[in-house]
């Protein structure tokens, strides 16, 4: 047991050594930790009541000591709305990416492992979905199901699944013929056990990197759909919805666009930088 712990500790230490060589990835990790901390401790940073509290006398005030990010057209504190909006955006990004990962793992691993008819059927179905741009596919699903947070998550998840299936299938194809898989078959292990116990764990490197970077795309997709009125609806303080409401005041109160926009950019950038660092850290070619 102690030997296993020591081995894991050594592996984590080596992983971090390779990760921190990428300075941009370290910066991205710091930014990501700050944004996640804001989302987790939003209620401690500023009460949610300030997100919905309307004060006519304070409408469209520029940033000040009383209102750090200014106020919107209803006199609501923009700092509070941006802080609590982090919960919406990060939850949607992480939830959709994980759901798409699970679906992609099942379909992609089945296609790559079994091959033949199973592979052909799954790939042809995925090809149909790949013909439609993800944002249009999301729009179609939202239009069919209606605008709500649940339907937004479903729509973005569906648009993300085809890419995951393609990636996981290609990775599984390179792992499925390894000797340890053949040994597992010879011992009578079931196909499900081989896939989830031996194949997928040994293909997790590219999958983890892709999922991390996909969160960035999902945050942008959610913000884009909310911006055009097909995602989270007001008065919920989602970042894309904040941008949508601020369009009217782009010239008179540009701060209404600036602060949510900066948070969207930083969150998306941080996930991309972290994904880039994971690529370096998980690449065995970088081992000394």
pLDDT at 288: 43
Q: CA–CA separation, 205 vs 200, rounded Å?
A: 10
The conformation of residue 61, written as its DSSP 8-state character, comes to P
The conformation of residue 184, written as its DSSP 8-state character, comes to H
Q: What angle do CA 50, 217, 207 make, to 5 degrees?
A: 125
Q: CA–CA separation, 168 vs 282, rounded Å?
A: 16
pLDDT at 287: 43
| Closest-CA residue to 79 (of 55, 44, 56, 45) | 45
pLDDT tens across the length of the chain (288 residues): 567 677 677 777 887 888 888 889 999 999 999 999 999 999 999 988 888 888 777 888 888 888 889 888 888 989 999 999 999 889 998 999 999 988 988 888 888 888 888 889 998 888 888 888 888 888 888 888 888 888 889 999 998 898 889 888 888 888 777 777 777 777 777 777 777 777 777 777 788 888 888 888 899 988 888 888 888 887 888 898 888 888 888 888 899 999 999 999 999 999 999 988 888 777 655 444
Q: CA–CA separation, 230 vs 78, rounded Å?
A: 22
pLDDT at 286: 43
Q: CA–CA separation, 84 vs 91, rounded Å?
A: 11
């Amino acid at each position: 047991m102690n030997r296993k712990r020591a081995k894991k500790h050594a592996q984590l230490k080596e992983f971090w050594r390779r990760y921190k060589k990428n300075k941009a990835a370290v910066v991205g990790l710091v930014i990501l930790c700050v944004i996640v901390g804001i989302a987790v401790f939003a209620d401690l940073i500023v009460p949610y009541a300030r997100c919905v509290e309307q004060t006519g006398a304070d409408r469209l005030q520029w940033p000040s000591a009383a209102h750090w990010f200014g106020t919107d057209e209803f006199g609501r504190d923009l700092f509070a709305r941006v802080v609590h909006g982090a919960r919406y955006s990060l939850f949607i990004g992480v939830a959709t990416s994980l759901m798409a990962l699970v679906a992609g793992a099942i379909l992609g691993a089945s296609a790559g492992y079994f091959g033949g008819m199973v592979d052909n059927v799954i790939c042809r179905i995925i090809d149909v979905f790949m013909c439609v741009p993800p944002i249009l596919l999301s729009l179609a699903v939202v239009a069919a199901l209606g605008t709500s947070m649940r339907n937004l998550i479903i729509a973005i998840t569906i648009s993300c699944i085809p890419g995951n299936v393609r990636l996981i299938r290609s990775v599984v194809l390179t792992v499925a013929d390894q000797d340890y898989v053949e040994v597992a078959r010879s011992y009578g292990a079931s196909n499900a056990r081989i896939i989830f116990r031996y194949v997928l764990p040994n293909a997790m490197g590219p999958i983890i990197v892709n999922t991390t970077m996909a969160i960035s795309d999902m945050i942008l997709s959610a913000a884009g759909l909310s911006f055009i009125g097909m995602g989270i609806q007001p008065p919920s303080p989602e970042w894309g919805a904040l941008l949508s409401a601020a369009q009217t005041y782009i010239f008179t109160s540009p701060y209404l666009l600036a602060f949510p926009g900066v948070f969207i950019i930083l969150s998306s950038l941080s996930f991309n930088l972290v994904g880039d660092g994971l690529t370096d850290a998980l690449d065995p070619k970088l081992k000394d």
